[in-house]
């Protein structure tokens, strides 16, 4: 008789598993249907973005001052990929659930879990297939970017890659949630409801609690839609990347725990708690990472270079106390124009709201409302401005440093472009869907004159 | 619910787990394979305890009523299993020919007849290298001629050193292929042994398995 150690898990080749997962996701109608739906969705967004950009460019071509506000990141990339985001939120869960849900429903999972792969390997392979599906589903968005270049439009590689990376992370996170949902649910329909509860629930969070102070603000920050905002601003935040990575690994680990059918529910619950705690710890550690990179061509998230260097030398703690309500537009301006930039460059800075959960209404009679107090090295000063032009001299004054001379050159030129984009509509409403339908039909064709299995998955 | 079920399987044997629908045959196989949690179970392999997490190193379970990867051609499903278990093309081709799957290699799994679906599952089981193969209703969907053909395939597999445990509710099929039997009813073992042993126990000297089962349950 053969010994029990006939083979070991680590000896199993991964390639057949990956090939199987990719074929499974390619064979389903969900991916191709989503692709076909995305063509007009992304295409029309792109067409509108190009048209609006062209209208704005008409004024920009007359004035260099107006031209330098014309950034393809804001004008073309964000709205075009925004349409892709909507489709990923609403449709991608159905594609991702398929990689596990069908196996559960058909009973094939009972074969798969007996095969020489660890459950974590099975989930990892499925996640790879989900990422591949995201790449395929982004074909309309990729073709929009290519068309923009063909029109003569400008694309900054760091901005574009950063934003695409953000969308990849978002798609992967939705995929990981879908795998977890498919793992805990008995049917694909239930899994879809669970996943949509996360994705559409994020929208609800945004609409209902965003802009509120305190706990509600923290809850709103957990929304999945927050994932993309930093990337859309042109920032590559390691805190965000690590946080999303922790969340993805957490959901993948939970999917792994709930995958094997031979473990009782109590055991799975205990393991799930361990996974959630581990993910929460990693998530908490990730929030401590402050490093972020401004990848925008116009460096909109940074002060001028000379100021960046000068501010980086301020090593003592800077404490900023803001006498504004979080929903006050002045606070939003201050945050965007000054505080966010300071947090990126100053190693030791803290910001606090005076009065905690104050609001505009309750502070109407407060004389100090609107003040921002800066405390550095035991000295303090107060300003009501939200502009770095006025605040930076205050900080230099507190630090006893002189304001550096601005470095010459390096101004962002802006990229005005007037172009008629009707041809894009033809492509997205006709050419691209036709190409996708042809590839779909081609992928559905069965092998002819088959006599023996292909060697594609053979060692 | 299963209770007080204890038995052993000698190497190179075809063991038949016999019983009517609802007797607990499938539950027993799934608990054995480690894909169904049990309140208390102890499986030993060559005298050593075999926890559920390690069962898939020694045994493979082919469930009843499963059509895996229905959108894929049969050849692709077989390729996946052959690749995962590092089977050579010759070994894979031999298995395909042995179970008679050649005519449907290019067909999608969902378009297979019940018999060919069963052959596909059998081929997947034969491609695995496990010493012990557990099969639930392996002859369901086959006519008499096909059943005899598959019995021959299974017998050949046993001569290669494999051990088979088959859950069968058709007693004639079981009598045709199995060396030893476990008679299950209502989750309890009613008898264990060869046909000769069971005849001796019941005192029915020329009885077939059907008579013995009725006598014991």
The pLDDT value recorded for residue A268 is: 95
Tokens at residue B98, please? Answer: 């042995």
State percent of chain A over pLDDT 90.
57
Q: Is pLDDT above 90 for B28? A: yes
Which residues on B lie below 8 Å from A104 (Cβ)?
none
d(CA A74, CA A72) in angstroms, rounded, equals 5
Q: Which residue in the set B71, B72, B83 is minimally distant from A459, CB to CB?
A: B83
Q: Is B1 on the interface with A (CB under 8 A)?
A: no
B62 vs chain A: nearest CA distance in angstroms? 7
- 10-residue stretch averages of pLDDT, chain A, 459 residues long: 49 92 92 95 96 89 80 94 92 93 92 94 96 95 96 94 96 96 92 91 75 68 82 93 94 96 92 95 88 91 89 89 87 90 87 69 71 90 90 90 77 86 94 95 71 46
The pLDDT value recorded for residue A2 is: 44
d(CA A415, CA A68) in angstroms, rounded, equals 7
Query: For residue range B135-148, what is the model confidence (pLDDT) as tens digits?
Result: 999 998 888 899 99
Which residues on B lie below 8 Å from A11 (Cβ)?
86
In chain B, the residue whose alpha carbon lies closest to the alpha carbon of A266 is: B37
Tokens at residue B197, please? Answer: 């042993």
The pLDDT value recorded for residue A378 is: 87
**Residues 6+ positions from A222 with CB-CB distance below 8 Å:** A205
d(CA A261, CA A109) in angstroms, rounded, equals 9
The pLDDT value recorded for residue B137 is: 92
Mean pLDDT, chain A, whole residue set: 87
Element (H, E) at A236: strand A235-237
The pLDDT value recorded for residue A365 is: 65
The pLDDT value recorded for residue A425 is: 95
B129 vs chain A: nearest CA distance in angstroms? 8
Residues of chain B numbered 85-114 and touching chain A (CB < 8 Å): 85-89, 92-93, 96, 102, 105-108
The pLDDT value recorded for residue A363 is: 61
The pLDDT value recorded for residue A214 is: 65
In chain A, the residue whose alpha carbon lies closest to the alpha carbon of B162 is: A1
How far out from the chain centre does Cα A45 lie? 19
Question: Beta partners for B44?
Answer: B49
Query: Nearest Cα to A250, choosing from A223, A276, A286, A283?
Result: A276
- pTM, to two decimals: 0.87
- Answer whether A373's CB lies under 8 Å from A380's CB: yes
Among the ranges given (A213-217, A436-440, B10-14, B99-103), the one the predictor scored with the smallest mean pLDDT: A213-217
Length of chain A: 459
Q: Which residue in the set A13, A23, A452 is minimally distant from B86, CB to CB?
A: A13
The pLDDT value recorded for residue A412 is: 81
Tokens at residue B38, please? Answer: 């049990």
Q: Is pLDDT above 70 for B9? A: yes
Q: Is B158 on the interface with A (CB under 8 A)?
A: no
CB atoms within 10 A of CB B37: 18
- Best mutation target, B10, B34, B83, B94, to test chain A (most A CBs within 10 A): B83
CB contact under 8 A, A1 and B129: no
d(CA A27, CA A22) in angstroms, rounded, equals 8
d(CA A457, CA A20) in angstroms, rounded, equals 8
The pair phi, psi for residue A437, each rounded to 5°, is -65, -40
Q: Is B69 on the interface with A (CB under 8 A)?
A: yes
The pLDDT value recorded for residue A271 is: 96
The pLDDT value recorded for residue A456 is: 46
């Amino acid at each position: 008789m053969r010994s029990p150690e006939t083979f070991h898990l680590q000896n199993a080749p991964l390639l057949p598993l990956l090939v199987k997962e990719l074929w499974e996701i390619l064979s389903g109608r969900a991916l191709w249907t989503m692709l076909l739906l995305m063509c007009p969705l992304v295409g029309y967004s792109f067409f509108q973005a190009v048209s609006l950009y062209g209208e704005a460019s008409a004024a920009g071509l007359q004035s260099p001052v107006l031209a330098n506000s014309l950034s393809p990141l804001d004008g073309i990339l964000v709205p075009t990929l925004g349409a892709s985001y909507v489709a990923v939120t609403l449709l991608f869960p159905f594609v991702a659930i398929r990689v596990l849900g069908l196996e559960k429903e058909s009973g094939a999972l009972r074969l798969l879990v007996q095969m020489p792969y660890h459950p974590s390997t099975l989930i990892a392979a499925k996640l790879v297939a989900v990422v591949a599906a995201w790449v395929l589903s982004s074909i309309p968005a990729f073709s929009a970017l290519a068309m923009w270049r063909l029109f003569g439009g400008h694309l900054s590689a760091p901005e574009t890659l950063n934003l695409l990376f953000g969308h990849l992370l978002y798609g992967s996170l939705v995929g990981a949630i879908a795998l977890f949902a498919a793992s805990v649910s008995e049917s694909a329909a239930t899994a879809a409801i669970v996943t949509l509860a996360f994705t559409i629930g994020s929208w609800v969070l945004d609409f209902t609690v965003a802009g509120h102070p305190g706990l509600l603000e923290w809850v709103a920050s957990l929304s999945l839609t927050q994932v993309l905002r930093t990337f859309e601003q042109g920032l590559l935040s390691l805190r965000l990347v690590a946080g999303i990575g922790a969340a993805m690994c957490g959901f993948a680990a939970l999917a792994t725990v709930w995958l094997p059918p031979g473990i009782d529910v109590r055991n799975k619950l205990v393991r799930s708690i361990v996974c959630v705690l581990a993910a929460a710890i990693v998530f908490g550690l990730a929030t401590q990472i402050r490093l972020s990179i401004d990848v925008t061509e116009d460096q909109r998230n940074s002060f001028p270079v000379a100021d960046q260097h000068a501010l980086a030398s301020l090593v003592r703690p800077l404490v900023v106390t803001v006498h504004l309500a979080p929903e006050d537009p002045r606070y939003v301006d201050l945050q965007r124009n000054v505080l966010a930039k300071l947090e990126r460059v100053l190693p030791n800075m803290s910001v606090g709201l005076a009065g905690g959960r104050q609001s505009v209404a309750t502070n109407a009679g407060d004389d100090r409302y609107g003040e921002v107090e800066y405390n550095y090295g035991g000295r303090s000063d107060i300003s009501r401005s939200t502009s770095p032009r006025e605040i930076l001299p205050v900080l230099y004054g507190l630090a006893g440093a002189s304001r550096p001379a601005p470095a010459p050159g390096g101004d962002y030129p802006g990229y005005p472009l007037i172009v008629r984009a009707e041809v894009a509509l033809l492509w997205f409403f006709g050419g691209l869907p036709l190409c996708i339908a042809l590839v779909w039909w081609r992928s559905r064709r069965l092998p002819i004159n088959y006599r023996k299995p292909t060697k594609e998955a053979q060692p | 619910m299963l209770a007080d079920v204890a038995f052993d399987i000698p190497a190179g044997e075809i063991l038949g787990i016999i019983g009517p629908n609802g007797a607990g045959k499938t539950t027993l196989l799934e608990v054995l394979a480690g894909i169904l949690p049990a309140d208390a179970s102890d499986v030993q392999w060559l005298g050593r305890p075999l926890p559920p997490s390690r069962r898939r190193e020694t045994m493979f379970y082919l469930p009843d009523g499963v059509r895996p990867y229905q959108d894929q051609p049969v050849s692709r499903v077989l390729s996946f299993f052959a690749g995962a278990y590092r089977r050579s093309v010759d070994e894979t081709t031999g298995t395909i020919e042995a179970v008679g799957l050649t005519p449907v290699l290019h067909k999608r799994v969902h378009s297979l007849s019940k018999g060919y679906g069963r052959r596909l599952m059998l081929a997947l089981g034969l491609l695995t290298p496990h010493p012990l193969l557990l099969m639930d209703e392996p002859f369901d969907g086959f006519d008499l001629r096909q059943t005899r053909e598959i019995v021959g395939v299974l017998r050949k597999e046993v001569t290669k050193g494999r051990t088979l445990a088959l859950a069968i509710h058709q007693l004639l099929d079981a009598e045709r292929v199995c060396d030893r039997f476990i008679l299950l009813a209502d989750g309890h073992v009613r008898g264990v042994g060869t046909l000769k042993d069971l005849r001796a126990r019941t005192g029915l000297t020329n009885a077939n398995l059907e008579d013995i089962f009725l006598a014991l349950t």
